[in-house]
């Protein structure tokens, strides 16, 4: 083929058509994704828009090749017109070949820069897609993958553009076989990439017709993965191009020209590569032998025979000893052997895919976490230990009745019912909160003789579908919610003391029977094996405070016991007989009341009133009764009373003797009052002022001056030594 500007002009036109086709496909997908709310269509359009850079690069390169060829053509015409004379082009070389110099610069700088730009855009878009898709698995973000309701239009658009892109890629692959158009391989790779992404979206959308949304989610993750793989391949091509040797005059291959995608654009070359690999391994041309050719001619019949054998084998189904099976035709259960459920053994059915077999192990015990379970591994569990839950889980407390501790009503009647909770004005005074970890083990009911087998009831109760942002199937979530409703009602009827101590061991069995009754009532087909409660404690941080409660109760009981002991000891020491303490205390209280009545009567009626006399007699009676009770006990109170009586009589006798002495001195006073007075004064001086010096002067004080010398009061070697005497006029 002649390499001239017309060849490159055609390549430029083809590249321009590819650019427009790429733009139309990407824009249609983007508009459809935005208007119908489909995330996968938007992601696919992002990938397609990146391909526009590849097409733009090819347009620039081919156009520059055309200019270079035109420049060379003009140079050749000028040289020919010179009739062999020396031309300016011969003297200057490439200095005046501007288009050729620009073409080399484009291959050296523009194409690598375009490749790097493609890598950066692919990496950035892939990172954005991964970030958005990662948010789908986070329950806190509540993000969801938007899917269009126009599934038919999505399939039609995807299939239509896929066919167009694949045909165009095959056309480009054929043109790129010629050296002049070898850069079109990059365009063929871009179109094959478009086909891969569009067909993936179409397949995911087709599965959505059967209500299987997991495939389209995988496709959404596949698009950024493809983008990252393409970006990595471009980076490797950039590195290898720097070390790959080239023949002189051969133009380098663009880094954005993906060899992997180009191989998919020419699948026939892939088959030839396999044949070459087989010949290389055997060491001779085995693909031309009669055996290999016979295998190729008979491969179709062998495949048909294998399919027939597989279909025949699919008519026989074997049910294990622990399994039960169902015969399904288009999702409907087909009855055979007078029962919908197939027991252990084998049975015949129509070949797949007309009929299928669904086998279930009905003896397998399955665990269901009714509440978040502690993920930490430990030998034992204390109330103050931290509960380690899975990310996104939260432990919700259960409501129970308040504790009977400190309740006046239940303290009076210790035999009161456990369910009785004293009434209160505040809701918080009636109830308390506890944290529980519950794990239920269950299995499918294996009864096949019932009106409806347990497996059928189990399958009809719920589906095995797992909703987005959920870890359990719809059936498991329904079983969990039913069990939690029973648990909530049961716990609300028990007090805090029951669930923490008194009936702690009975809760599991009671819940198991109640949950099983509800399951049987709703025909769930589930047999509850056990309900395990590995942890139950007061809610939240209150568990730490509950650790001090038993110590406080013991200390209170100890203080009460010590006080009771001291009371008995004191009463025994005072009254003697502990059995008469109440009678003694009552008698003393009555005596005190009688004394108060006497004081009230005196203040109201006077000392000589009849009411006072009656109150005094009543007081005496009460006091005598109390003293008799104390004397009958023989305690220390009797000694105190006797000592008080003795001291009272001694005091009375002393006062009587003093009164008699005073009466005896009355006659002496009347005989000589002055002498009696002086004698009494002298006796007072003698008895009270023995340590003082006393001076008795018989002169009138008005006629006397007294000189007092203090020298004898001053001690030697003190500040008072040598003090002079002073005179003082006594009054």
Write out pLDDT tens, residues 635-668: 777 777 778 888 888 888 988 888 888 888 888 8
**What pLDDT does 273 receive?**
61
Residue-range definition of the domain harbouring residue 634: 567-662
Q: What pLDDT is attached to residue 486?
A: 92
Average pLDDT, the chain: 78
Give the SS3 label for residue 10.
helix
Q: Say if CB 712 and CB 694 are below 8 A apart.
A: no
Q: Judge whether 355 and 349 are in contact, CB under 8 Å.
A: yes
Q: Chain-centre distance of CA 260, in angstroms?
A: 46
> Do residues 514 and 485 lie in contact, with contact meaning Cβ atoms separated by under 8 Å?
no
> What confidence category does residue 409 fall into, taking pLDDT thresholds of 50, 70 and 90?
very low
Answer yes or no: do 33 and 155 share one domain: yes
Flag whether pLDDT at 731 surpasses 60: no
Looking at residue 336, what DSSP letter applies? B
Instruction: Tell me: do 530 and 575 sit in the same domain.
Output: no
Residues 156 and 260 grouped into a single domain: yes
Residue 621 forms part of a structural domain: yes
Is 413's pLDDT higher than 80? Answer: no
Percent of the chain residues topping a pLDDT of 90: 12
For 303-326, what is each residue's pLDDT tens digit? 888 888 888 888 888 888 888 888
Token couple for 215: 């495939």
258 occurs within a structural domain: yes
Whether 313 and 406 share a structural domain:
no
The reported pLDDT for the residue numbered 340 is 76
The Cβ of residue 110 has, within 10 Å, a number of other Cβ atoms equal to: 17
Contact 219, 290 (CB under 8 A): no
Whether residue 79 contacts residue 106, with contact meaning beta carbons closer than 8 Å, is answered with no
Is residue 411 domain-resident?
Answer: yes
Q: Which of 276-285, 488-497, 548-557 is the most confident on average?
A: 488-497
Distance of CA 114 to the CA centre of its chain: 48
Which stretch of 213-222, 261-270, 486-495 has the lowest confidence by average pLDDT?
261-270
Tokens of 584: 């003694």
- More confident position, 157 or 276: 157
Question: Has residue 181 got a pLDDT over 50?
Answer: yes
Alpha helix positions (H), 176-209: 184-208
pLDDT of 19 reads 93
Torsion of CA 498, 500, 501, 502, to 10 degrees: 10
Residues 355 and 223 in one domain: no
Per-residue confidence band for 161, with pLDDT thresholds at 50, 70 and 90: very high
Give how far the C-alpha of residue 358 lies from the chain's centroid of Cα atoms, to the nearest Å. 37
Residue 272 located in a structural domain: no
Tell which wins on pLDDT, 559 or 84: 559
Q: Decide if 508 is inside a domain.
A: yes
- Structure confidence by residue, pLDDT tens digits, 99-108: 778 888 888 8
Highest-confidence range of 109-123, 445-459, 615-629, by mean pLDDT?
Answer: 109-123
What's the chain's Rg over C-alpha atoms? 58
pLDDT at 50: 92
> Between 448 and 23, where is the model more confident?
23
Element of type H or E holding 328: strand 323-329
Confidence of residue 708 (pLDDT cuts 50, 70, 90): low
| 326 & 437 share domain | no
271 in a domain, yes or no? no
Query: Highest-confidence range of 114-128, 365-379, 573-587, by mean pLDDT?
Result: 114-128
Clarify whether residues 151 and 27 are in a common domain. Answer: yes
Same structural domain, 528 and 417: yes
CA distance 68 to 98: 8
Please give the Cα distance from 262 to 169 (Å, whole number): 9
Q: Is residue 560 assigned to a domain? A: no
Across residues 45-69, what is the average pLDDT? 88
Q: Is the pTM of this model over 0.95?
A: no
581 shares its domain with 712: no
Task: Tell me if 387 sits within 8 A of 540, measured CB to CB.
Answer: no
- Give the highest mean pLDDT range of 82-86, 232-236, 532-536: 232-236
Q: In the listed set 232, 265, 298, which residue is the last one of a domain according to the structure?
A: 265
Cβ–Cβ < 8 Å for 111, 227: no
Q: How confident is the model at residue 242 (pLDDT cuts 50, 70, 90)?
A: confident
103 and 185 both lie in a single domain: yes
pLDDT at 417 over 70: no
Same domain? For 396 and 328 the reply is no
Q: Using one digit for the tens of pLDDT, what is the confidence trace for 272-282?
A: 666 666 665 66
Is the separation of the CB atoms in 183 and 58 below 8 Å?
yes
Q: Tell whether 273 is covered by a domain.
A: no
| Number of domains composing the chain | 5
Kindly tell me if the per-residue pLDDT of 717 is higher than 70. Answer: no
Calculate the dihedral angle through the C-alpha atoms of 367, 373, 375, 376, rounding to the nearest 10 degrees. Answer: -120
Same domain membership, residue 501 and residue 415: yes
């Amino acid at each position: 083929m002649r390499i001239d500007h017309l060849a490159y002009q055609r390549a430029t036109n083809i590249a321009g058509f590819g650019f427009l086709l790429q733009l139309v496909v990407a824009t249609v997908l983007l508009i459809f994704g935005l208007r119908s709310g489909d995330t996968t269509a938007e992601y696919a359009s992002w990938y397609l828009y990146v391909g526009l850079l590849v097409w733009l690069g090819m347009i620039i390169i081919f156009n520059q090749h055309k200019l270079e060829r035109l420049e060379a053509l003009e140079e050749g015409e000028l040289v020919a017109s010179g009739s062999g004379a020396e031309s300016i082009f011969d003297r200057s070389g490439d200095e005046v070949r501007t288009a050729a110099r620009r073409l080399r610069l484009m291959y050296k700088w523009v194409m690598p820069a375009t490749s790097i730009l493609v890598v950066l855009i692919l990496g950035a878009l892939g990172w954005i897609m991964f970030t958005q898709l990662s948010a789908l698995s986070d329950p806190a973000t509540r993000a969801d993958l938007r899917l269009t309701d126009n599934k038919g239009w999505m399939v039609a658009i995807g299939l239509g553009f896929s066919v167009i892109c694949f045909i165009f890629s095959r056309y480009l692959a054929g043109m790129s076989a010629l050296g002049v158009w070898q850069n079109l391989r990059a365009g063929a790779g871009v179109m094959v990439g478009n086909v891969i992404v569009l067909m993936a979206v179409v397949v995911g959308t087709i599965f959505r017709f059967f209500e299987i949304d997991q495939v389209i989610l995988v496709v959404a993750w596949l698009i950024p993965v493809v983008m990252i793989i393409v970006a990595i391949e471009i980076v490797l091509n950039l590195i290898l191009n720097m070390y790959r040797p080239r023949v002189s005059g051969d133009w380098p291959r663009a880094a954005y020209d993906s060899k992997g995608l180009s191989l998919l654009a020419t699948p026939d070359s892939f088959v030839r590569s396999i044949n070459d690999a087989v010949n290389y391994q055997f060491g001779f041309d085995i693909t031309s032998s009669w055996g290999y050719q016979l295998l190729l001619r008979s491969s179709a019949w062998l495949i048909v025979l294998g399919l027939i054998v597989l279909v025949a084998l699919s008519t026989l189904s074997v049910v294990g000893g622990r399994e039960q099976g169902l015969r399904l035709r288009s999702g409907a259960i087909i009855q055979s052997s007078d029962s919908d459920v197939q027991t252990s053994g084998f049975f015949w059915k129509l070949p797949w895919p007309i009929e299928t077999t669904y086998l279930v192990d009905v003896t397998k015990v399955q665990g269901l976490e009714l509440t978040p379970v502690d993920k930490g591994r430990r030998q034992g569990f204390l109330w103050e230990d931290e509960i380690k839950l899975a990310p996104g889980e939260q432990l919700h407390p259960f409501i129970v009745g308040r504790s009977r501790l400190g309740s006046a009503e239940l303290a009076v009647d210790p035999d009161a019912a456990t369910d009785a909770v004293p009434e209160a004005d505040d809701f918080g005074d009636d109830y308390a909160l506890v944290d529980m970890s519950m794990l239920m083990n269950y299995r499918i009911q294996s009864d096949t003789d019932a009106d409806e087998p347990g497996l059928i009831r189990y399958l009809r109760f719920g589906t095995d579908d797992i909703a987005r942002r959920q870890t359990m199937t719809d059936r498991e979530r329904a079983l969990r919610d039913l069990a939690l409703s029973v648990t909530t009602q049961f716990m609300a009827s028990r007090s805090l003391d029951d669930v923490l101590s008194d009936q702690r061991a009975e809760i599991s069995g009671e819940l198991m029977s109640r949950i099983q009754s509800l399951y049987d009532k709703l025909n769930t087909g589930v047999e509850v094996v056990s309900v395990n409660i590995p942890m139950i404690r007061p809610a939240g941080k209150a568990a730490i405070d509950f650790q001090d409660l038993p110590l406080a109760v013991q200390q209170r009981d100890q203080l009460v016991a010590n006080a009771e002991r001291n009371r008995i000891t004191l009463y025994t020491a005072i009254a003697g007989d502990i059995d008469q303490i109440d009678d003694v205390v009552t008698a003393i209280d009555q005596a005190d009341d009688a004394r108060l009545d006497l004081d009230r009567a005196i203040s109201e009626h006077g000392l000589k009133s009849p009411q006072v006399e009656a109150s005094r007699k009543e007081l005496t009676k009460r006091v005598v009764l109390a003293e008799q009770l104390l004397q009958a006990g023989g305690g220390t109170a009797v000694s105190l009373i006797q000592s008080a009586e003795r001291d009272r009589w001694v005091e009375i006798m002393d006062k009587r003797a003093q009164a008699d002495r005073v009466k005896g001195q009355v006659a002496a006073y009347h005989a000589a009052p002055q002498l009696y007075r002086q004698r009494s004064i002298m006796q007072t001086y003698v008895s009270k002022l023995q340590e003082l010096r006393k001076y008795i002067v018989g002169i009138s004080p008005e006629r006397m001056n007294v000189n007092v010398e203090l020298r004898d009061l001053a001690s030697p070697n003190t500040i008072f030594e040598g003090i002079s005497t002073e005179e003082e006029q006594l009054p």
